[in-house]
Structure 1
Amino acid sequence: MSGEWVPEGHEFALCLTHDVDRPYKTYQSLFYALTRRDPSQLLDLTPGRRPYWTFPELLAFEREHGVRSAFYVLDEQSLFRDRPPREWLTAEGWQLYAGRYDIEDAPIRGLLGTLRRGGWEVGLHGSYEAVDDRAMLREEKRRLEAVLGESVRGGRQHYLRLERPATWEHYRAIGLDYDTTLGSPDEYGFAHGYQPLRPFDDEFVVFPLTVMEGALPDPGEDFDRAWAAVESLLAEAAANDAVMTVLWHPRHFSPDHPGYGRLYRRLVTTALEADAWVGPPGELYSLCASTAVAADD
């Protein structure tokens, strides 16, 4: 199978994805004030400041360049509302459950409406404990679809947690067409091949994650080194008619993560100049899934 997943007239495919984990900056203000010795971080706790709410700038860039991406939305438990008191003062409890959001809050509802009307894909970001819990995944999908007002087609598990093949079996059973979890938070590359996978030899598809932004050299410290890594992935994708899937968290477009927004913008514009198809996985699935299946039969 070579190139069946690349739409005609394009050299390779680039799938753009964003995991919506922390759209609000909360305890990070205190953490950065202490670890970076920067008291100005505490100003981000004042009313009206939302440095991690980077969606307007991100959507404006993608709209300007005629591309769309997928936003995977998390319906995670709240530390103080849903978790036992013994976890309230643990580092793990704060890391996993503090500072999350409610998908029914007005700003999130507004964001989902903007994404839906603008042609972006919204998908499921399965919660930390849902990795092997079909009932929990089904309920998270149901709640998301109720707020969104339409069905979702695919998603990715939080923290890239994956039980193979159980998580994929759950995704397929609750009516999802694809998953994008397979990958690493620390390494980048085409470790799982150049094409999407069909673990059950049917129409359910896995889009391996090629790179998460945090696995790259820090562009705030050495942008040229970070860009060299991204450029090498684009060249490898073009040379192999590949599907390249990238993950950029929205908070990485904030001042707390300098260089990552610039790196993303250069990634997208360079791919477009190289005649790549650029868009969300759900759209690529619609364009190519049936063709790819037929090519294998």
Structure 2
Amino acid sequence: MNIYINEACPEKEYIVDVFFKTFFGIEFNVILNRNINNQDYIIEFEGKTIILKNTLFKKEDYLKKSNLPKDVKYLCSPFTSEPIPILYGENKIDISKNLVVIHADIFATAFFMLTRWEEYVIDIRDEHNRFPARESIAYKNNFLNRPIVNECLDLLWGVFEYLGYQGVRKDRDFEMVITHDVDLPRLWWNTKDFIKSIGGALIKRKSLKEFILLFKFKLKKEDPFNTFNFLMKVSEDNNLKSHFFFMSGGTSNKDNYYRIDHPTIIKLLTEIKSRGHFIGFHPSYNAYNDNAQFQKELIKLKEVANTVITTGRQHFLRFENPTTWQIWEDNNMKWDSTMSYHDIPGFRCGVCYEFPVFNILTKKQLKLIEKPLIVMEGSFITYQNKNPSQVSQEINYLIKTVKKYNGTFVFLWHNSAFNIGKSMSYQHLYKQIVDENT
């Protein structure tokens, strides 16, 4: 299979590589042919041709608000089960015996979602300097709950099949990746903490049930946030390995809720390793755009945990494009799983497959892999104030969507989100979700 472009363009080369190598897993050659009198992508195999219209990468500098999608169209075709959102190009496809012309710019659509360049050119931020979900094109056009990159992949593969392509698409199975950000390994480190918590239950939350529950934990000399054995057992019962992301420093009041070298934490790290689960990195609040701070904390965690650390997620899901990804790359991290909005779950990158990231400023594909986070429990429980029935329904909808594409469902549930406040009754639901989907 040959793919022709008429000029060297890192963005074009990246999206072609991600589609054909990472996602499809098929062999191809990119051929630069300056004799082509347009800037479209031309794909040829076995005497068949596909022309993919290029509408975005006609100018060197696309990183402008004026180049954001103006109008989301929906493309109907015989190759997909439902109309798919198209951010660039026209919602039109011409089909003949040996030639298919796709006027929808599916490569620009996918590039837009995967690279998150939208978040670079739009300067609106929340109080934690995060790009808000409600400012995204996906949210405003009601497709944040759809992995539209996967839909574009299925469209293109359908065209291949129609034209008689004999290659085999990469085989995939649904996978659930269980992760836990360890912000608060314990609720109580001393008597003052205990008094504060029961006061919060009675006075702030006016919950006698929670007050009694906390006293029961205290009488049993247990801690409500020490749910690690429960989390590991649920994973073990389903032949899964949990990823526990630990903090090891910080410079703000959102950090330093524990010392990574405290004997209690060292014992926990040892148990996690001995049971075959994974220890990862949860960089502090301000480390998302501070390489020196990131590196300092990573070195400390590696020293204390005495294990290789190459995976993790940013605290508060803070992300600056492309700075955060480049910091992870420069520190030889293998994969990150920050890419989800804190308050609205779904497909921030428009995809449920892992993929190599792209630095939009250096115009280079990085070795770093992004495993997009699909669901964080706090999105539903804390920010949307949903009840357990609603939480179950919405999580299962997203799982069903990921299963449709044999994708990876990355699931975050904090160890501290079970026994107090709004999270008080969720252990059974958590176990049920994992049990029923593995």
TM-score range, shorter chain: 0.7 to 0.9
1:5-33 per-residue CA deviation (whole Å, 9 max, x = no partner) reads xxx98631211100000122135443333
Q: Which moved more, 1:109-118 or 1:259-268?
A: 259-268
2:245·2:280 contact (CA, 8 Å) conserved in 1?
yes
- Three-state SS of the structure 2 residue aligned to 1:198 is strand
Q: Which residue of 2 aligns with 1:64?
A: 237
Note closer, same or farther for the CA distance 1:137–1:97 as it changes in structure 2 (3 Å cut).
closer
Tell me which of 200, 203, 210 is aligned to 1:31.
200
Note closer, same or farther for the CA distance 1:230–1:110 as it changes in structure 2 (3 Å cut).
same
2:380·2:386 contact (CA, 8 Å) conserved in 1?
no
Tell me which of 23, 41, 52 is aligned to 2:225.
52
**Residue type at the aligned position of 1:247:** L
Q: Which residue of 2 aligns with 1:169?
A: 326
Tell me which of 247, 254, 270 is aligned to 1:113.
270
Note closer, same or farther for the CA distance 1:3–1:209 as it changes in structure 2 (3 Å cut).
farther
2:353·2:408 contact (CA, 8 Å) conserved in 1?
yes
- Three-state SS of the structure 2 residue aligned to 1:19 is strand
- Three-state SS of the structure 1 residue aligned to 2:313 is strand
1:147 Cα offset (Å): 1.0
1:255 Cα offset (Å): 4.9
- Three-state SS of the structure 1 residue aligned to 2:266 is helix
1:130-169 equivalences in 2 (<5 Å): 130-169=287-326
Q: Which residue of 1 aligns with 2:380?
A: 216
Distance 2:339 2:197 in 1: 28
- Three-state SS of the structure 2 residue aligned to 1:16 is strand
- Three-state SS of the structure 1 residue aligned to 2:367 is coil
1:1-297 equivalences in 2 (<5 Å): 1=19, 2=23, 11-25=173-187, 26=193, 27-38=196-207, 40=211, 43=215, 48-77=221-250, 93=253, 96-97=254-255, 100-192=257-349, 193-200=351-358, 201-216=365-380, 222-256=387-421, 257-272=423-438
1:212·1:247 contact (CA, 8 Å) conserved in 2?
yes
1:220·1:258 contact (CA, 8 Å) conserved in 2?
no
Note closer, same or farther for the CA distance 1:209–1:22 as it changes in structure 2 (3 Å cut).
same
Higher normalized helix content (fraction of residues): 1
**Residue type at the aligned position of 2:177:** C
2:344·2:379 contact (CA, 8 Å) conserved in 1?
yes
2:224·2:419 contact (CA, 8 Å) conserved in 1?
yes
2:354·2:408 contact (CA, 8 Å) conserved in 1?
yes
Distance 1:35 1:126 in 2: 30
Distance 1:11 1:197 in 2: 16
Q: TM-score, normalised by structure 1?
A: 0.76
Distance 1:150 1:16 in 2: 19
- Number of residue pairs the alignment of both structures matches: 253
**Residue type at the aligned position of 2:390:** R
Distance 1:198 1:101 in 2: 33
Distance 1:266 1:174 in 2: 37
- Three-state SS of the structure 1 residue aligned to 2:297 is helix
Distance 1:106 1:204 in 2: 33
Q: TM-score, normalised by structure 2?
A: 0.53
1:253 Cα offset (Å): 2.8
Q: Which residue of 1 aligns with 2:42?
A: none
2:329·2:366 contact (CA, 8 Å) conserved in 1?
no
- Three-state SS of the structure 1 residue aligned to 2:402 is helix
1:36-59 per-residue CA deviation (whole Å, 9 max, x = no partner) reads 224737747789341111112222
Higher normalized strand content (fraction of residues): 2
1:76·1:128 contact (CA, 8 Å) conserved in 2?
no
Q: Which moved more, 1:27-36 or 1:123-132?
A: 27-36
Distance 1:101 1:3 in 2: 44
1:274-295 per-residue CA deviation (whole Å, 9 max, x = no partner) reads xxxxxxxxxxxxxxxxxxxxxx
Larger radius of gyration: 2
**Residue type at the aligned position of 2:399:** L
Gaps of 5+ in 1: 84-92, 273-297
Note closer, same or farther for the CA distance 1:55–1:123 as it changes in structure 2 (3 Å cut).
same
Distance 2:234 2:409 in 1: 20
